[in-house]
Structure 1
Amino acid sequence: MIVTCKDDGNRLDSTLVTHIENCSRTSASELIKKGFLLVNNKIKKPGYRVKTGEKLQGTIPRPSPLPDCYPENLPLEIIFQDPHLIIINKQPGIVVHPSPGHSCGTLVNALLYHCPDIEGVGGAIRPGIVHRLDKDTSGIMVIAKTHYAHTAISSLFKSRDIKKEYIGLVYGNIKEKKGRITLPIGRHPFDRKKMSVNSKRPRSAETIWSVNKHFGDVATLLDIQIKTGRTHQIRVHFASMHHPIIGDCIYGSRKLKNIPTIYNNDIQKKIKTIPRQMLHAHSLSFKHPISGETLNFTAPIPEDMNKRSSIRAMINIAFSFKGRCFACC
């Protein structure tokens, strides 16, 4: 491509992100550093400022092939199972299906061991999977055991006939009792691995929330329901309100705006001891794809959200300024 006046003066990596579909700035930077993308047949740095008339050329190497799925004897907490579906409580830190960089130790590997009949249901790489949870989000998931169930449950998700409720611990004191967030969500304009409410190509998203409990000015425990299922939806929506999910290193890493300044330094230190975002898929309700019976399932709040000492200590900071002590919920 030839640089036009529209891109004149822009960084080389940013220019490539603008013109290459599904390319993150990190990926563009790596391609430039490795010499796959050149400016007038010369290697430049990612921060090089392009000029009108310069020729950008190169090749993008093929992505790494997806790994094969194979059974692994991994712990799997099964809440319910019948010939058509499985309800499981996913533990935090578990990736749902294999992908480049995660060739083993995933939920799918465990499912193939404990429920080998799901092999090939809905596809070779994601057998049985009809929806996902982020790696560090815990909670309830439904898995299809047959092709018919996979199609039927996928349709329920698409038509929004499945009720999904979460519990999340967010920074700051949310003063309203309940609310609704309807900001559209799409790929981040510069970092393609992230989602954003400022995307160039957003899709509708709706999150409904109500306050469960306040912890001074430091944190609020929320009951959350999502009407849509956009990637990182809850995390992005609450970050947009300046009340990010506690422990979210992707969307909650900036200086906290909704916590009094007096707490910020101490809280930031405590944040580093929390290993994952405090978000849990608590319940799932839908009609059985065969019987039509309404099914309701819940997954208990995990130990690290309920009694984790680092969270308790973090919240204690706010109360210690007022001479009070926090009792774990």
Structure 2
Amino acid sequence: MSEEIYHTVETEGNERIDKVITSLNNEWSRSQVQQWIREGHVTVNGEKVKANYKCNIHDEITVSIPTPEPLDVTPEDLDLDIYYEDEDVIVVNKPKGMVVHPAPGHLSGTLVNGLMAHCKDLSGINGVMRPGIVHRIDKDTSGLLMIAKNDKAHEHLVNQLVAKTVTRKYFALVHGVIPHDHGTIEAPIGRDKIDRQSMSVVDNGKHAVTHFKVLERFDQYSYVECVLETGRTHQIRVHMKYIGYPLVGDPKYGPRKTLETDGQVLHAGILGFIHPRTNEYIEFSAPLPAYFEKILTTLNK
């Protein structure tokens, strides 16, 4: 563990400790500094403080940088479908059936296992089991994800998600023929009161908004585009069920009688964001996976 001592002689006082420390060393992200404060690695005049502590002129700030915890993730060559990569960001097209990060029951074959073999520089904000992971999609959902290669990029991308400036368009096949061409679902999502393993629309849930547009109608199904304004767990799956058009193949929220699809027919096809270094907007598009295209072709016949 290394130690760095700072005297806040250049501040005007009354500034938050996390903001002051971030300004003193631009290699540290604010999220990382806040984590160090929570873990007790930051002291002011020898005393531990909270992230909202307001500094005084001539405070002595000590930052004891913890030794990085070794990653306990086995690198695996998984032949990832990389759409874009530079020193800050990776955009990858995750296949259906792949878990994003290791968890009990899924310790290998995950996207993180593949990323660890692909490159060694990934952000550490989300801990040793989720390096670089800014946002997630479900195991049986395919499509584009943005990965952060350093903490500064990670924080920048997360802030965009919070500000709702990231473009996230999904394509889904749902049960039922939706009569209107487009709509907006605004309904709070939280843990289901009966089944704690599932999410549902609940009064005390988190604010959630999904916009949808019907792209094609079939005898018993609708092909739709969904745009996320928020990013709650299982949001599209829960919202489409809520309005009476659950996703085809969804084992958790869909009907038992459905097409054989090995999970929900859902693809994160378009992803756009502001690059954390250049501040330019970039956007990527991934075509529908083969199984999805095959279903649409069959329905058209």
| Percent of residue pairs bearing the same amino acid type | 42
Q: In structure 2, what residue type is equivalent to 1:293?
A: E
1:291 matched to 2:258: no
* Deviation at residue 123 of structure 1 after TM alignment: 2.0
* Deviation at residue 201 of structure 1 after TM alignment: 3.0
Q: In structure 2, what residue type is equivalent to 1:234?
A: I
Name the CA distance, whole Å, in 2 between partners of 1:188 and 1:208: 22
Q: In structure 2, what residue type is equivalent to 1:213?
A: E
Name the CA distance, whole Å, in 2 between partners of 1:224 and 1:108: 26
Q: How far does the alpha carbon of each residue in 1:81-112 deviate from its partner, in whole angstroms, 9 at most, with x for none? A: 01100000000000000111111110000000
1:274 matched to 2:261: yes
* Deviation at residue 119 of structure 1 after TM alignment: 6.5
Q: In structure 2, what residue type is equivalent to 1:223?
A: E
Distance change in 2, residues 1:77/1:170 (3 Å): same
Name the CA distance, whole Å, in 2 between partners of 1:119 and 1:184: 31
Counterpart of 1:206 in structure 2 is 209
Counterpart of 1:165 in structure 2 is 169
1:102 matched to 2:89: no
Q: Give the secondary structure class of the aligned counterpart of 1:80.
A: strand
Query: 289-298 or 245-254, which moves further after superposition?
Result: 245-254
Name the CA distance, whole Å, in 2 between partners of 1:180 and 1:304: 28
Counterpart of 1:223 in structure 2 is 225
Name the CA distance, whole Å, in 2 between partners of 1:136 and 1:229: 17
Whether the aligned pair in 1 keeps the contact of 2:211 and 2:226 (CA below 8 Å) is yes
Task: Name which of 140, 143, 159 aligns with 1:155.
Answer: 159
* Deviation at residue 68 of structure 1 after TM alignment: 2.9
* Deviation at residue 121 of structure 1 after TM alignment: 5.5
1:141 matched to 2:145: yes
1:132 matched to 2:136: yes
Name the CA distance, whole Å, in 2 between partners of 1:155 and 1:243: 32
Q: In structure 2, what residue type is equivalent to 1:203?
A: K
Task: Name which of 172, 196, 201 aligns with 2:200.
Answer: 196
- Give the count of matched residue pairs: 231
* Deviation at residue 175 of structure 1 after TM alignment: 0.5
Counterpart of 1:40 in structure 2 is none
* Deviation at residue 253 of structure 1 after TM alignment: 2.5
Higher-strand-fraction structure: 2
* Deviation at residue 125 of structure 1 after TM alignment: 1.1
- What TM-score, normalized by structure 2, do the two folds share? 0.74
Task: Name which of 229, 244, 253 aligns with 1:242.
Answer: 244
Name the CA distance, whole Å, in 2 between partners of 1:219 and 1:171: 5
Name the CA distance, whole Å, in 2 between partners of 1:201 and 1:245: 24
Runs (5+) with no aligned partner, structure 1:
1-66, 255-267, 316-325
Q: In structure 2, what residue type is equivalent to 1:215?
A: F
Counterpart of 2:289 in structure 1 is 302
Name the CA distance, whole Å, in 2 between partners of 1:290 and 1:244: 39
Q: Give the secondary structure class of the aligned counterpart of 2:121.
A: helix
Whether the aligned pair in 2 keeps the contact of 1:187 and 1:201 (CA below 8 Å) is no
Counterpart of 2:9 in structure 1 is none
Whether the aligned pair in 2 keeps the contact of 1:189 and 1:200 (CA below 8 Å) is no
Q: In structure 2, what residue type is equivalent to 1:284?
A: L
- What TM-score, normalized by structure 1, do the two folds share? 0.67
Name the CA distance, whole Å, in 2 between partners of 1:129 and 1:221: 29
Q: Give the secondary structure class of the aligned counterpart of 1:169.
A: strand
1:179 matched to 2:186: no
* Deviation at residue 209 of structure 1 after TM alignment: 0.6
* Deviation at residue 312 of structure 1 after TM alignment: 5.4
Q: In structure 2, what residue type is equivalent to 1:188?
A: D
Name the CA distance, whole Å, in 2 between partners of 1:68 and 1:200: 39
* Deviation at residue 143 of structure 1 after TM alignment: 0.2
CA RMSD of aligned residues (A): 1.6
Name the CA distance, whole Å, in 1 between partners of 2:262 and 2:76: 25
Q: In structure 1, what residue type is equivalent to 2:249?
A: G
Runs (5+) with no aligned partner, structure 2:
1-70
Q: In structure 2, what residue type is equivalent to 1:227?
A: E
